[in-house]
Chains A and B, each alone.
Chain A
Amino acid sequence: MRDGVMLCQGGDMTTAVAARAIDLYKIYGSGDSEVRALDGVTLDIGAGEFTAIMGPSGSGKSTLMHCLAALDTPTSGDVQIGETRLSRLRDKALTTLRREQVGFVFQAFNLVPTLSARENILLPLSLAGSKPDQAWFDTVVDSVGLRDRLGHRPSQMSGGQQQRVACARALVSKPSIVFADEPTGNLDSTSSAEVLAFLRRSVDEFGQTIVMVTHDAVAASYCDRVVFLADGRVVDEIRDPDRDQILAHMTALQTAAAAPREERTA
């Protein structure tokens, strides 16, 4: 695991750290049926970077993101968001932390169906009881291009529009980090491109930190850095990737994963 840390820090030592996974283990079951979803992950997420987490199905990428985002608690190890160690926090503090420091974009069912687009975007702020920064709200809304849709309910919007509302919502509370779980998983390629372009822009223009879990090489190619997971461990990473590089890495990973399995079954 030392290697993982080295890899991580080896890229750009000067970048500040927005979130940090410290020797994370997440183990389900015990004995023969034990499953190690995370098997000692140590990872720094650089502030102001767009990081993708990739890996084959079952590699633990979603579990890692859930732990980083304070949605799940690791079996052992710790997560740090900004200066806060999550293992010391109870539910109430975790709720506050999620509300104030973390933004989310999920694959589907991202919006509260009873609220309009504007209300959905402002939901984290109104839950916190804080006033929205009108100028920032306008900036975010304009950059997702939803000005004329603010009064609509989710059922009156396309999937791409809904996902852009979710992105705007993730940004409007100025979180220190945004987690996106397969944000383009349910979208066609045009809508995907719009959402990804927006995420990219928010990193470039607003300095937003974003962590995105995806298995789509095209999506990952929008990122500054791609971290590869397999069997619950960080196995590889590349910086400023292009699509082909990513595909090559993924293929290598899947071959590596398949090989021992074939040996076992043989």
Chain B
Amino acid sequence: MLRLVLRNLLARKVRLVMSGLSVILGVAFLSGVLVFSNGLSTTFDGIIHGSTPDGVVRTVNSDSFDAGYSGQSDRALSPADLDRLRQLPEVARADGDVAGIGMSLLASDGTLIGGTGAPTLAFNHTDSPNMDGERTLVLKSGAWPERPGEVVLDEAAAEAGDYGLGDDVKLLAPFGTVERTAKLVGTAEFNGGGTAGATLLIFTTQEAQQLFLGGKDAYNQISLTAADGVTQRQLADAAAAVLPDGFEAVTGDEVAAESQDAVGAFLGIINTFLLVFAIIAVIVGGFIIVNTFTILVAQRTRELALLRALGAGRGQVTRSVLVEALALALVATTVGIGLGLLLARGLAAMLRSIGLDIASAALDLTTRAIVVSYVVGIGVTLAAAYLPARRGARVAPVAAMRADAVPERGSLRRRSLVGAVLLTVGAAFAAAGLLGAPGSDAAWIGVGAVIWILTVAAISPVIGKPVLALCRSVFGALFGTTGRLAGENALRDPRRTGATASALMIGLALVSTIGVLAASLNASVDDVVDEQFTADLLVQNSNFLPFSTEIGDRVAEVPGVDVVSRQQWTAARVASGPHPDKTVTVAGSDAEYARIYHPDVVSGRATPAGAQAVLFRSLARDLDLEVGDRLDLSFQGGTTLDLEVAGIVESSETTSEVTVPLDQLAAAGVLRQDSTLSILIDPAADPEKVRDAVDATAASAPIVGVYDKEGFADQIRGQVNQLLYLIYGLLALAIVIAVIGIVNTLGLSVIERTREIGLLRALGMSRAKLRRMVTLESVAIAVLGAVLGMALGLLIGVLLQRSLSDNLTSLGLPLGQLGAFLVVAIVVGVLAAVLPAIRASRLDVLEAIASE
């Protein structure tokens, strides 16, 4: 039996390659994601481990806030604090660190380096060791900075900025004077290898103090090295005893674990995101396996019947088909894993060229990646081949004697019935989501959507008929008999056409759903911007990083600027009430804010004064607060503000869930910076000229952009669309696999219809018309997949928008995009038909007629 299986496989090499390809691509994506994410986390682990000392002294609360947009605490440790630590017997050495957020590097041509992705880390140089006793930083060229005005960059940044040793490097500072320069004296990287894409700016301690601490001789963090025989715990406990208020001592292991958690959470999101697409690709591949094996079994009906007639049991026949699938899966998965490794390395090389260097040693197949890939690849293939295998075993032995043997197939009626029931179940889930069942509404709809997609895939032979009949009519009208024949061929075996189209349907359903959500998001953004964006111009960083107040000072001086309102955003922890430890974002708004923006007041006042806060309605509900209640917020460095709730307003994009007067943030110990500048133009001035002048003022500090209403909406839309195109790109793989499925089905159909094609040729059908016939059949399949997918995607997208209507206030239908998808589907159909059509037209007429 085994020998027979292997013979079968070899006899069908081409079909093997085609159906194997769908498994290969899915598995390659999967293993590529696993290898890549492993490489990423290993790289980050290496850096975290290599740059963390035995113990760290830092401001309290600093672990719970995103250090990016929330600014910097004014708390600092004095040299006396440092000395006290150094005198502890447990401490071998203590080094004062001065680090700051919001410093930016400009290239020699004045453009911003980094800025959108990985952070720019600016700090002072010390030669403090990490927890392994090695230096945290490794010098790659030149020397460490020794004098103020000197800087060391990482190699990638120096290269991107076109800076050589000795050049003056252009910098933008987060505090005070914005534009600075420093002389490049060397390049460095983390001990763990690379920088993982971060930009490093390393100064002398004195320079860093100038930049981040206003020139005070102080530190915002201290790295501790334990004396011999002292554990990290003992070190941290000893240090804690001598620290001033607002600071804490933590062990290096804790810091590393926190960092790993933070990075891990971020990588986890990327990882899950990519894995979802890998799984979609594998499932689509599974559909193709089902279809291929169904056709192969149908074509071998007589052979299987002969085996049964010769005494093979049903189990044996099923097994022989399954063993064939297993062999296919083994080969395809192995190739897929190898391809995935190459894919991951290629991706890493691409990322390296844009500055995110992943340690190439980490880009290797882990046992987990190999096992997961094999389990998924083989599992999906065998599961997909099982139904056709069972059907093959049901062939009656007498079929061997019949000329036109086809395997018995159940009626589609049962399938339709089960399908109708499942569609109803899916609808029930969706309805539950819409009517506000417990839990996430979108999740209910999501479950309903998955049920729908799989059910539609199963009953596509039934519900696809009208689409195919329409194709037949259109083709017939456009291409005469050739078109009609093509339409008939697509309708001939609705199961096969449906299953082939389903692979494409899944991809297009997802693409359309995402398309509807993105269009709705864009439409909602327009609404929000129209309604709330009452400033003429807005100045802010695209990542919401705060910037030096000097920019606002300059903007305020531009002639024609009537009002400048400054806002600074930070994070705080709720320190009272039923939800302690909830982190909230806090906007400090100046007095001018009320002149520009007018949030919808629910109760109380929209503008806080003194120790007051205005809350979004949603937050007030969550915290169970009303006007007049007290709210304690704890900030970085441990300062707590005791605030009175002065008002509750509707959510608005122009402020944050907690709004306090700008001067309250200074009282909370947050160093003064600006996050947003809102500008009203003097009605008497020429708005164009003022806009140009503000642009010119901001141009010297490219960390900020100047946006008007349109531009602000465009910026948000740009971010949405970027994500949209990324998702489209990832779904393209599912569509490529679906194309392989169409090629495969058509190829097998051509083989199956050899005699019919011979007859048509004998009756005078030209090769060109024959090719057209195959191509049109392919287009019919693709259009069916596209129409079913887009219809489902539209429905799911609309339902999701309804359930998310708090945020997605208006529905957007991407009709242009849907039209484009249909065109793409037709092109896909034409491309998929190229090889089968050529094959069909090359069939020798005589052999075709003579073949059995």
Chain A residues at the B interface, C-beta cutoff of 8 Å: 66, 69, 71-72, 91-92, 95-96, 98-100, 104, 106, 108-115, 119, 123-124, 126-129, 169
If A112-B756, A127-B769 touch, whether A104 touches B480 (CB-CB below 8 Å) is: no
Q: Which of B290-298, B390-398, B604-612, B760-768 sits within the interface?
A: B760-768
Q: Restricting to B447-492, which residues have a CB under 8 Å from any CB of A?
A: 480-482, 484-485, 488-489, 491-492
In the bound complex, how far is the Cα of B769 from the Cα of A69, in angstroms? 21
Q: 16 new A-B pairs (CB below 8 Å) besides A66-B846, A69-B762?
A: A71-B845, A95-B765, A99-B764, A100-B764, A104-B763, A110-B759, A112-B760, A115-B485, A115-B488, A119-B484, A123-B481, A123-B760, A123-B763, A126-B480, A127-B769, A129-B480
Q: Assess whether A98 is in contact with B481, with CB atoms less than 8 Å apart.
A: no
If A72-B846, A95-B767, A113-B756 touch, whether A104 touches B485 (CB-CB below 8 Å) is: no
Q: Assess whether A127 is in contact with B762, with CB atoms less than 8 Å apart.
A: no
Contacts of B481 in A (CB 8 A): 123, 126-127
Contacts of A111 in B (CB 8 A): 759
Contacts of A100 in B (CB 8 A): 764
If A71-B845, A71-B849, A129-B480 touch, whether A114 touches B488 (CB-CB below 8 Å) is: yes
Interface size, chain B (Cβ < 8 Å): 25
A173 to chain B, nearest CB (A): 8
Chain B residues at the A interface, C-beta cutoff of 8 Å: 403, 480-482, 484-485, 488-489, 491-492, 755-756, 759-767, 769, 845-846, 849
User: Chain A residue with minimal CB distance to B851?
Assistant: A109
A128 to chain B, nearest CB (A): 6
Among A92, A106, A126, A128, the residue within 8 A (CB) of B759 is: A106
B793 to chain A, nearest CB (A): 31
User: Chain B residue with minimal CB distance to A98?
Assistant: B764
If A66-B846, A71-B845 touch, whether A127 touches B765 (CB-CB below 8 Å) is: yes
Q: Could you tell me the dominant secondary structure of chain B's interface residues?
A: helix
Q: Assess whether B492 is in contact with A98, with CB atoms less than 8 Å apart.
A: no
If A71-B849, A114-B485, A126-B481 touch, whether A104 touches B492 (CB-CB below 8 Å) is: no
Contacts of B845 in A (CB 8 A): 71
A43 to chain B, nearest CB (A): 19
Q: Assess whether B762 is in contact with A71, with CB atoms less than 8 Å apart.
A: yes
Contacts of B759 in A (CB 8 A): 106, 109-112
Contacts of B761 in A (CB 8 A): 95
A93 to chain B, nearest CB (A): 10
Q: Assess whether B764 is in contact with A127, with CB atoms less than 8 Å apart.
A: yes
Contacts of B769 in A (CB 8 A): 127
Centre residue among A98, A110, A169 by max chain B CB count within 10 A: A98
In the bound complex, how far is the Cα of B844 from the Cα of A72, in angstroms? 9
User: Chain A residue with minimal CB distance to B488?
Assistant: A114
Contacts of A128 in B (CB 8 A): 764
Q: Assess whether B762 is in contact with A98, with CB atoms less than 8 Å apart.
A: yes
In the bound complex, how far is the Cα of B482 from the Cα of A187, in angstroms? 30
User: Chain B residue with minimal CB distance to A104?
Assistant: B762
Could you show 16 A-B contacts with beta carbons less than 8 Å apart?
Answer: A66-B846, A69-B762, A71-B762, A71-B845, A92-B766, A95-B764, A95-B766, A96-B766, A99-B763, A109-B759, A110-B759, A114-B488, A114-B491, A124-B763, A127-B769, A129-B480
User: Chain B residue with minimal CB distance to A99?
Assistant: B764
Contacts of B491 in A (CB 8 A): 114
A26 to chain B, nearest CB (A): 11
In the bound complex, how far is the Cα of B756 from the Cα of A92, in angstroms? 19
Among A71, A99, A110, A113, the residue within 8 A (CB) of B846 is: A71
User: Chain B residue with minimal CB distance to A173?
Assistant: B764
B404 to chain A, nearest CB (A): 9
User: Chain B residue with minimal CB distance to A106?
Assistant: B849
User: Chain B residue with minimal CB distance to A97?
Assistant: B764
- Top 8 closest pairs, chain A to chain B, by CB: A99-B764, A114-B488, A126-B481, A95-B766, A98-B764, A72-B846, A109-B755, A124-B763
Contacts of A169 in B (CB 8 A): 763
Contacts of B846 in A (CB 8 A): 66, 71-72
In the bound complex, how far is the Cα of B849 from the Cα of A108, in angstroms? 9
Contacts of B766 in A (CB 8 A): 92, 95-96
Contacts of A127 in B (CB 8 A): 481-482, 760, 763-765, 769
A169 to chain B, nearest CB (A): 8
Contacts of B485 in A (CB 8 A): 112, 114-115
In the bound complex, how far is the Cα of B805 from the Cα of A260, in angstroms? 93
Contacts of A71 in B (CB 8 A): 762, 845-846, 849
Q: Assess whether A109 is in contact with B488, with CB atoms less than 8 Å apart.
A: no
Contacts of B756 in A (CB 8 A): 109, 112-113
In the bound complex, how far is the Cα of B483 from the Cα of A126, in angstroms? 11
Contacts of A124 in B (CB 8 A): 763-764
B768 to chain A, nearest CB (A): 8
In the bound complex, how far is the Cα of B570 from the Cα of A170, in angstroms? 87
Contacts of A123 in B (CB 8 A): 481, 760, 763
User: Chain A residue with minimal CB distance to B492?
Assistant: A114
Contacts of B492 in A (CB 8 A): 113-114
In the bound complex, how far is the Cα of B488 from the Cα of A119, in angstroms? 12
User: Chain B residue with minimal CB distance to A111?
Assistant: B759
Centre residue among B403, B755, B763, B767 by max chain A CB count within 10 A: B763
A186 to chain B, nearest CB (A): 9
User: Chain B residue with minimal CB distance to A129?
Assistant: B480
User: Chain B residue with minimal CB distance to A96?
Assistant: B764
B759 to chain A, nearest CB (A): 7
In the bound complex, how far is the Cα of B762 from the Cα of A167, in angstroms? 14
Contacts of A92 in B (CB 8 A): 766-767
Contacts of B489 in A (CB 8 A): 114
Contacts of A129 in B (CB 8 A): 480
Contacts of A109 in B (CB 8 A): 755-756, 759
B376 to chain A, nearest CB (A): 39
Centre residue among B480, B485, B762 by max chain A CB count within 10 A: B762
Contacts of B403 in A (CB 8 A): 108
B794 to chain A, nearest CB (A): 32
User: Chain B residue with minimal CB distance to A63?
Assistant: B846
Contacts of B764 in A (CB 8 A): 95-96, 98-100, 124, 127-128
In the bound complex, how far is the Cα of B403 from the Cα of A124, in angstroms? 27
Contacts of B482 in A (CB 8 A): 127
Contacts of B849 in A (CB 8 A): 71, 106
In the bound complex, how far is the Cα of B164 from the Cα of A154, in angstroms? 82
User: Chain B residue with minimal CB distance to A122?
Assistant: B481
In the bound complex, how far is the Cα of B403 from the Cα of A108, in angstroms? 11
In the bound complex, how far is the Cα of B491 from the Cα of A112, in angstroms? 14
Contacts of A69 in B (CB 8 A): 762
Contacts of A104 in B (CB 8 A): 762-763
In the bound complex, how far is the Cα of B484 from the Cα of A115, in angstroms? 9
User: Chain A residue with minimal CB distance to B841?
Assistant: A91
A41 to chain B, nearest CB (A): 17
Contacts of B763 in A (CB 8 A): 98-99, 104, 123-124, 127, 169
In the bound complex, how far is the Cα of B846 from the Cα of A114, in angstroms? 22
In the bound complex, how far is the Cα of B762 from the Cα of A124, in angstroms? 10
B696 to chain A, nearest CB (A): 69
In the bound complex, how far is the Cα of B846 from the Cα of A72, in angstroms? 6
Contacts of A126 in B (CB 8 A): 480-481
B32 to chain A, nearest CB (A): 43
In the bound complex, how far is the Cα of B484 from the Cα of A126, in angstroms? 11
B524 to chain A, nearest CB (A): 49
B298 to chain A, nearest CB (A): 15
In the bound complex, how far is the Cα of B746 from the Cα of A107, in angstroms? 27
User: Chain B residue with minimal CB distance to A100?
Assistant: B764
User: Chain B residue with minimal CB distance to A103?
Assistant: B763
In the bound complex, how far is the Cα of B538 from the Cα of A2, in angstroms? 103
In the bound complex, how far is the Cα of B482 from the Cα of A109, in angstroms? 19
